[in-house]
Structures are given as structure tokens and as C-alpha cells.
Amino acid sequence: MALKFYTYPKCGTCRKAKKWLDDNGVPYEEIHIVENPPSKEEIKAYYEKSELELKKLFNTSGMKYRELGLKDKIKTATEEELLDLLASDGMLIKRPLVTDGKHVTVGFKEEQFEELWS
């Protein structure tokens, strides 16, 4: 199965990840994270497979995150509320988000891509 590669074309980190996938001949389906964001159910599944804290799925450097004042809200929000927030706007999700259905990576770390997607 080709990887699902959730990306935002203007994101520099996404471009680096895409270049790495291309350079390493890894097949993927590119999905625009804003136009086609993952559903709440998909986000929950990705979060569980990633073994990260749910708050690590947030794009904390994004304007939307700051506009909504999420820095403080995240500390007290329930898992359900956090999943709803992530599903409400693709710009709130840290990217790129890559999955093969079994594993999930969030952001781009070359060593992690090397280990999982080579």
C-alpha cells in the first residue's frame, strides 16, 4: 500500500519530506491536509498508532493555533475536545502526517523516515 502523505504545499517541512520520499523511491498518495483533512476517526487512529501525546499532533507554530489561543486550552481539554479541534481544521494538524495504516509519523525527521519508510 502506498503511504498516505498529508501535506500542505506551502510548508517547507512538507517539501523536505516529499523530496525525501521522492529521492528514496517511496510511493505515496499526496493529500492536501487543508482541502481534505483526515476525519476525527482517522485522527484518533493515527494518534493511537503514533504513540505520541495527542497535543503533539497540533501545529503549535501555526497562526490558527495562536488565533484560537490553544496553548492554554490544550492543557485542560479532554481527548474528545482535542480530537474535535484537530478535525475542525487541517491547519491545526502538525504536518506532514504520514501513514501506511500500521505506523504514523508526524513532522519530518530524516532518521525516522529512514527507519519506517525506506
Laid out side by side, the sheet with 104-106 consists of 28-32, 3-7, 97-99, 104-106
Domains present along the chain, CATH in parentheses: 3-117 (3.40.30.10)
- Tens digits of per-residue pLDDT, 21-54? 999 999 999 999 999 999 999 999 999 999 999 9
Q: SS3 of 9, please?
A: coil
Instruction: Decide if pLDDT at 1 tops 90.
Output: no
Phi, psi of 105 (to 5 degrees): -120, 145
What is the per-residue DSSP string for 25-68? Answer: T--EEEEETTTSPPPHHHHHHHHHHHTS-GGGGB-TTSHHHHHT
